[in-house]
Amino acid sequence: MDAQPAVFEHPEFDHHAEVIFLCDPASGLRAVLAIHRTTRFAGGSGGCRMQPYPSSGAALTDALRLSRGMSYKLAMAGVPIGGAKMVVIGDPAKDKTEALLRAIGRAVERVNGRYVTGGDVGVGGPDLDIIADETHYLVRPADGGDASEATALGVLRAIERSVSRHLDGAALDGLTVGVQGLGHVGRRLCDLLAERGARLVVADPRADLTDAVAEAHGAEVVDPDALLSSDLDVLAPCALGAVLNDATVPELRCRIIAGAANNQLATPAAADALAERGIVYAPDFVVNAGGALTSSQRARGEAVDVESLEAIAKNLDAVYDLAEAEAISTHEAAERVARERAPHLA
């Protein structure tokens, strides 16, 4: 059956420039590459992630959502290129082989610069060295530095600005912050929050990660599902997306949401539901743009300027101002701001 109508009619299809289905039986590669936007001078950019998606349809949905989110993130970071994402169907703990990684690299090379890849969930470190043997179109940590530090600092700036603006000028000292997901960004964010006196409540499926933060900072450890209904001043989602949905939003007991996870809203309607409950949502593609911002500085041959992460706080002010003036959700406001800054998103 022709797959094109299914793509064009997909609810997450946003006039994507290209959607490519990849299959390499010899290596077991099955993947979807979604290029959301390109510009006159550049293709789309975004990482390659590998997850055990339950179906090719689920992989397509994630690729469409993630590539679109990447476009908006790059726009808010002031990077004049479009977003893209490759998602690979498979369990990285069992299915990731050298042959599969090389097949990924060859697939990227065949796109001939219309897509520049990098690491993401399930693909990173030595994996990227193997992929780089097969393609020129890849940004590795050796080329662009570790983006997790800048991403975590950017999330911190977003939390500080949101707290100052919406909690009567309060500081982080003494506030309770829940961090969901303790990967590179989530763990570093915990360190930064603890340095500023925040009380931490953390959740991650890996007990070794939660135990480490509990030992280092006296954090309370809860089940990942229980975190969403915990009494918190700030919730920082730093794991996978769609955590804010019809089931979870009614259970939330926080005042602000600001985290590093991509695509935190299952649907735009979740942003309206949060607003109705009086919960301030800092849009994820504004909050987590720190890595994109500093990586673009490196790509231009510039020294990384950590102070430039203050742009995230200023971007949030623009979003909050527009949302309040127009009586719209912060998600809608953020998309408007991004489209004004990046005409290729229109």
Same domain assignment for residues 323 and 191: yes
Q: In this predicted structure, what is the pLDDT of residue 294?
A: 72
β 176-180/199-203 pair status? parallel
> Catalytic site residue 85?
yes
Same domain assignment for residues 175 and 30: no
Q: Which domain holds residue 174?
A: 147-345
Q: In this predicted structure, what is the pLDDT of residue 41?
A: 78
Q: Evaluate whether 229 touches 250 at the Cβ level (below 8 Å).
A: no
Q: In this predicted structure, what is the pLDDT of residue 233?
A: 98
CATH number at residue 44: 3.40.50.10860
Q: Evaluate whether 43 touches 116 at the Cβ level (below 8 Å).
A: yes
β 18-24/82-89 pair status? unpaired
Q: Name the catalytic one among 85, 94, 96, 314.
A: 85
β 29-35/82-89 pair status? antiparallel
Asked which of 87, 114, 140 is the last residue of a domain, the reply is 140
Same domain assignment for residues 136 and 151: no
Q: Evaluate whether 103 touches 29 at the Cβ level (below 8 Å).
A: yes
pLDDT in tens, the chain (346 residues): 344 458 999 999 999 999 999 999 999 999 999 999 998 878 999 999 999 999 999 999 999 999 999 999 999 998 889 999 999 999 999 999 999 999 999 999 999 999 999 999 999 989 999 999 999 999 875 454 567 888 999 999 999 999 999 998 778 999 999 999 999 999 999 999 999 999 999 999 999 999 999 999 999 999 998 999 999 999 999 998 999 999 999 999 999 999 999 999 999 999 999 999 999 999 999 999 988 877 665 655 565 566 678 899 999 999 999 999 999 999 999 999 999 999 888 7
Quick: pLDDT tens for 33-62. 999 999 887 899 999 999 999 999 999 999
Quick: pLDDT tens for 103-159. 999 999 999 999 999 999 999 989 999 999 999 999 875 454 567 888 999 999 999
CATH number at residue 166: 3.40.50.720
List CB contacts of 53: < 8 A, sequence separation 6 or more: 59, 62, 87, 89
CA 311 – CA 307 distance, rounded (Å): 8
Same domain assignment for residues 155 and 228: yes
Same domain assignment for residues 328 and 179: yes
Asked which of 124, 140, 156 is the last residue of a domain, the reply is 140
Asked which of 91, 117, 140 is the last residue of a domain, the reply is 140
How many structural domains comprise the chain? 2
Same domain assignment for residues 230 and 94: no
Query: What is the distance of C-alpha 312 from the center of its chain?
Result: 14
DSSP assignment string, 212-279? HHHHHH--EE--HHHHTTS--SEEEE-SSS--BSTTTGGG---SEE--S-S--BSSHHHHHHHHHTT-
